Amino acid sequence: MSLQFCTNLDKNKLLIRKAIRQKVNDKLKEINSVEPKKKNNEFTEIKSDGGKSEETYSDENSPADFNKAIEASGLGLYNVILLFLAIVGQFASIFESSTMSYILPIAECDLQLTLNDKGVLNAVGYAGMMISAIFWGYLADTRGRRNILLYGYLADAACVFGSALSQNFIMLITFKFLGGLIVNGPAAVLFTYLVEMHGPKHSGIIIMIVGMITSTAMLALPLFAWAIFPQDWQFRLFDSLQINTWQIYLFVCGLPSLLSGLILFILPESPRFLMGQGRNEEALKSFRTIYYFNTRKPKDTYPIKSLIQELPDRKSNKDEAIFTVEPNTEAKHAKPKSRSFLEGLQQMKPLFHKPLLLMSLRCYTMQLCIFLGMNTIRLWLPQLFASTAEYEALHFGEDDVSSTMCTILEYSVNKTAETLTNHENICSEPINISIDMYMNNIIVSATGFFGYFFAGGIVRVLGAKRLLTYGLFLSGLLGFTLYFSVNSLMTLVVSSLFQTVTVVSVSSLMSAVVTLFPTQLRSVVVAACMMCGRLGALTGNLLFPIFVQIGCMPPFLMVSAALILAGALSIFVPNPSKVTSS
């Protein structure tokens, strides 16, 4: 019996041990099911079956850099608003520089324009842009992106609406100059603002979208003219201001500037700019606003609670100045040092010495020549097509009459002069522009759109160097071929090819500039190239009417010579594909 008792006792002990062991194992499983697995300031919830849950959380106490913070704000409604801002903002910039070319045939009688007046109206916007380039760049880097965009677009809208109310040439040219002076700021800052509002993975998409919007804006101008100019919209405003269709056209073209300014009232400052200024609290507010728009969640639920402090760290040798920004999580409240003007000039010193000096001068001259040729023809085409349509309608049915380019130019010059000397009789009837004028401009703009759309792909296939040289020589040949045009169809085909080839050439040159110059000098060189391009557009549009009055060949010889000179200079530009980027 005692033996049986001992045996039963041993069995009970074994059962108790198994029960205890089972409870311990169950408890360990329960602990493991909620134990966080920590790594690199992150933890992932572990399920009891060993799998991972769907949500991964970041350590909110760890300061985040810009890329991490913008990614945490998500994608959604805010990015849609930015896309709309990109559309109306880029439309505003293109409209400011190009609307004059479409109203010249319509406003000739109302403003009593001479041929030189027309050239000045085409050029005056570029004069304002060229003068204000450096000023706006300084303000954007010191005062912020949003303020430049907000007040710049609203001020530009005021200038465009002022031009729409213009009653004479002086009033119109004043508002157009002020518009060019003002719009250059937001036009330059818009692209920067858009890129800074997205992470690095979306920067390539932003570049493509802005390019497509630019081409669409150029196509929209003749479409608006087609819809508005044929209408009989004439009335007096406040019993003193005469309003005609061309003024309504200008008013409509000012709406994108107004919409851009209004949109920016709800958008925050660029957090990338604020972080670079050491204003992290304001940057966090911007990130929270973006997060709220995209997720519709309260701003205080934004997962990032602090940002890294970016401090300027200058490390330079005796003859160089390098400016770098590095993260520093230990000095969160340190005030960043500002970059001095002299240091900026010091960093630009290589541009004034070999080998960059000659290469930069070639690029500046090429950009000037390309814009001189491209924008001279582009901005005078509406006038040429209007004169062609009017001349062909006047001589309809006459077999011995041909609308050669020289004939059209001679007719346009004589018609403008006659309008001034016999204003009351010629301008007594409403101006009727043929539909061919609108269709021809729409076709030319459409071909330019497709050229811009495929420019990036063509550069990648053929190479920037080869495409640049061949394209410039071909565009120079096409520019001179316009002189030999015998009818409106040939003028349309040649001008369309000319516009497409020059657009691709501009893209090739800018692609080469970005590759050839060091990283710390690229922005300066690109800005200088754009300034020279505007100088070229200004010069070409002022010289074109002067040369037209001298003869038929000189204006096209000017355009052709400028583009061929650019092509010759491109031969001496290094091949970007063989240059190591830095």
CB-CB contact of 494 with 478 (8 Å): yes
* Whether residue 558 sits in one domain with residue 444: yes
Q: What is the CATH number of the domain that holds 244?
A: 1.20.1250.20
pLDDT at 415 over 70: yes
pLDDT at 233 over 70: yes
Q: Range of 148's domain?
A: 65-303
* Per-residue burial over 533-553, b = 16 or more CB atoms within 10 Å of its CB, e = otherwise: bbbbbbbbbbbbbebbeeebb
The yes-or-no verdict on residue 65 having pLDDT over 90 is no
Same domain assignment for residues 24 and 106: no
- Express each pLDDT in 510-565 by its tens digit: 767 766 776 556 656 777 787 888 889 899 999 999 998 888 899 999 999 999 99
Percentage of residues of the chain with pLDDT beyond 70: 73
Encode 47-114 in three state secondary structure. Answer: CCCCCEEEEEEECCCCCECHHHHHHHCCCCHHHHHHHHHHHHHHHHHHHHHHCHHHHHHHHHHHHCCC
Q: In 3-state terms, what secondary structure has residue 324?
A: strand
Dihedrals phi, psi of 398, to nearest 5 degrees: -90, 115
Phi first, then psi: what are they for 166, rounded to 5°?
Answer: -60, 140
Q: Averaged over 225-238, what is the pLDDT?
A: 86
- What pLDDT score does 85 carry? 92
Over 90: is that where the pLDDT of 418 sits? no
- What pLDDT does residue 74 have? 83
Please tell me which of 1-15, 52-66, 90-104, 409-423 the model is most confident about, judged by mean pLDDT.
90-104
Average pLDDT over residues 271-291: 85
Do 292 and 247 fall into the same domain? yes
Cis peptide before 268 (omega within 30 of 0): no
pLDDT tens digits, residue range 513-522?
766 776 556 6
Residue 539, SS3?
helix
336 HSE (CA, 13 A, CB side)? 24
pLDDT band with cut points at 50, 70 and 90 for residue 150: very high
**Top-confidence residue, 321 or 491:** 491
Neighbours of 39 (CB within 10 A): 8
CA dist 104 and 339 (Å) reads 47
> How high is the mean pLDDT of the chain?
77
User: What confidence tier does 577 reach under pLDDT thresholds 50, 70, 90?
Assistant: low
Q: Which one of 288, 320, 347 terminates a domain?
A: 347
Give the mean model confidence (pLDDT) for residues 2-13.
Answer: 49
Residues 221 and 149 in one domain: yes
For residues 459 and 439, state if they share a domain.
yes
Comparing 97 with 562, the larger pLDDT belongs to: 562
- In this predicted structure, the answer to whether residue 42 has a pLDDT above a threshold of 60 is no
Does residue 430 surpass a pLDDT of 70? no
- 497-506 per-position pLDDT tens digit: 998 888 888 7
Mean pLDDT of 181-201: 79
Residues 331 and 279 in one domain: no
Confidence of residue 105 (pLDDT cuts 50, 70, 90): confident
Say whether pTM exceeds 0.85: no
Phi and psi for 65 in degrees, rounded to 5? -85, 180
φ, ψ dihedrals at 330, nearest 5°: -85, -30
Q: Which residue has the higher pLDDT, 521 or 254?
A: 254
Q: What is the pLDDT of residues 478-498, one digit of tens each?
A: 999 999 988 888 999 999 999
Percent of the chain with pLDDT over 90: 20
* Confidence bin at 43 (pLDDT 50/70/90): very low
For residues 333-349, one letter each, b for 16 or more C-beta atoms within 10 angstroms of the residue's C-beta and e for the rest, the string is eeebeeeeeebeebbbe
- Positive or negative, the CA dihedral 327, 329, 332, 337 is negative
Tokens, residue 485: 């045009």
Q: Give mean pLDDT, residues 459-487.
A: 86
Residue 117 sits in the same domain as residue 245: yes
Per-residue pLDDT tens digits for 158-184: 999 999 999 999 999 999 999 988 988
On whether the CB atoms of residues 278 and 311 are closer than 8 A, the answer is: yes
- Of 254-268, 303-317, 387-401, the range with the highest mean pLDDT is 254-268
Give the pair of three-digit tokens for residue 99: 């609307």
How much is the average pLDDT of 55-78?
Answer: 72
Highest mean pLDDT among 26-30, 84-88, 359-363: 84-88
199 and 338, same domain (yes or no): no
Instruction: Indicate if 341 and 484 belong to the same structural domain.
Output: no
Residue pointed to by tokens 């409403």: 430
Which one-letter amino acid corresponds to residue 411?
A: Y
CB atoms within 10 A of CB 313: 13
Higher pLDDT, 372 or 573: 372
Report the range out of 50-59, 263-272, 460-469 with the highest average pLDDT.
263-272
Based on the fold, state whether residues 117 and 239 are members of the same structural domain.
Answer: yes
Please tell me whether residue 523 adopts helix, strand or coil conformation: helix
> Is the same domain home to 211 and 269?
yes
Which comes out higher in pLDDT, residue 269 or 521? 269
As a whole number, mean pLDDT of residues 441-456 equals: 78
Query: Strand pairing partners for 311?
Result: 326
Number of domains the chain is built from: 4
The two structure tokens encoding residue 273: 């700019």
248 has pLDDT over 90:
yes
More confident residue, 93 or 462: 93
Whether 514 and 384 map to the same domain: the answer is yes
Q: For residue 331, what pLDDT is reported?
A: 40
